[in-house]
Amino acid sequence: MAEIAPRIAGGAGAVALAMLLLPGCTDQTKVHETELSELLVVLPGRYDNTAQVEADTRNRANAPHDAVALTITHVFTPRLGHHVYYAQETAADDPRRVFSQKMYSFTVDEKRGIVETLYEFTEPLRWRDGQQNKDLFTSLVTDDVQPEACQLLWKKKGEDFVATHDPKACPDAAGGNVVTQAEFSGGVLTVGEYKFRRSRGH
């Protein structure tokens, strides 16, 4: 009995410590959930990089950016999560020229914060212009998409949101340096080298 008592005491201590830490974890999760709600309010809409292309022309850039329009639309796709969006890139002057189609799924992780998983379609043509027929996505199953290897971790900085890769899973450079992959600031969504401004009326 004398040997068992310390074990019981030790076990009780571990439980007590866990109970003390739990409220802190819960509070942090609530913060992440609030920030996710804020991000998902401002993110959907139609964007284009017309201003960036015009600046390239004025500055006579050697490699001007293509004129691209980006539409991000909330859709109901239970098999990919609760917060799912369809994103389609087209030529800014011709919506029939589709450059890319993806699905975005957002979740909250207790330790990593806001996590975005990006999906590619196995049959893109089947889902083209899905923003005009959102009911289409209720039938989507996991075999219809392929998740990209690197997830994005979003963090709120002041009034802005910044996304980076998880350096442990996808180091952006030698030494695991963290590189900004996307940013939302003042109605401008920056993805890589492209700066998309929200279109008027959206």
Transcribe 109-134 into DSSP letters. Answer: ETTTEEEEEEEEESSHHHHTTGGG-G
Burial of 27 (0-12, 13-18, 19+ CB in 10 A): exposed
The domains of the chain, with CATH numbers, are 41-198 (2.40.128.590)
Judge residue 68's burial from the number of C-beta atoms within 10 Å of its C-beta, 0-12 exposed, 13-18 middle, 19 or more buried.
buried
Instruction: Please tell me the pTM assigned to this model.
Output: 0.83
Which of 39, 21, 41 shows the shortest CA–CA distance to 31? 39
Predicted confidence (pLDDT) per residue in 3-49, tens digit: 444 443 444 454 444 444 555 557 888 999 999 999 999 999 999 99
167 confidence band (pLDDT: 50, 70, 90): confident
∠ at Cα 151 (145, 153), nearest 5°?
140
